[in-house]
Amino acid sequence: MGTWDVGPFDNDTAADWCGDLDDAAPEQRAASIRDALSRVAEHGADYLDSDDAVEAIAAAAIVASQLPGGTAIDSAYAPHFVLEGGRVDVADDVPAIAVRALDRIVGDDSEWRALWQEAGEAYPQALASVQSIRATLERAISRRAAAGHGTR
């Protein structure tokens, strides 16, 4: 895995996935994001491949950026349409799927977790990056629940 930093877009696989998302027709982007997240959220107990994990982390970061109060994305490796202010219509259930995916990534039987733990000092920083995305998603879910909105 070509990784140069701990951010959600700071590796070859995530950058390639973002390029594919950029190239996708705008009406297909939400489905691509959901697919990357669902593939991990619904993975089960089998060993989770790092490539699937980093794609889901990138997808979760994009979802978080689209939510009220979300963190703006400024990585040159993120999809250009996002950097240029483009939007993705995120269905109400997607933040919860993203949270489940992130929990799976940092949990047991995850190659992402194993690789970062082997990296030693960088593991807490990589984990903090994922936890920051998760916190943004959780805030959005909580606000939606408090406002009485369901999922669509």
**Cα torsion 4, 95, 141, 65: sign:** positive
| 51-107 pLDDT per residue, tens | 999 999 999 999 999 998 888 899 999 999 999 999 999 899 999 999 999 999 999
**Three-class SS state of 12:** helix
Domain count of the chain? 1
Band of pLDDT at residue 147, cut at 50, 70 and 90: confident
The CA–CA distances, whole Å, from 104 to 75, 86, 132, 146 equal 24, 29, 15, 26
Q: Supply the range of the domain harboring residue 120.
A: 12-146
Residue 1 has pLDDT above 60, yes or no: no
Report how far residue 100's alpha carbon sits from residue 90's, in angstroms, rounded to the nearest whole number: 16
pTM of the model: 0.94
Tell whether 152 is covered by a domain.
no
Q: What pLDDT sits at residue 152? A: 45
**Distances from the Cα of 39 to the Cα of 7, 55, 71, 76, angstroms:** 21, 10, 24, 25
Is position 4 within any domain?
no
Quick check: is 117 in a domain? yes
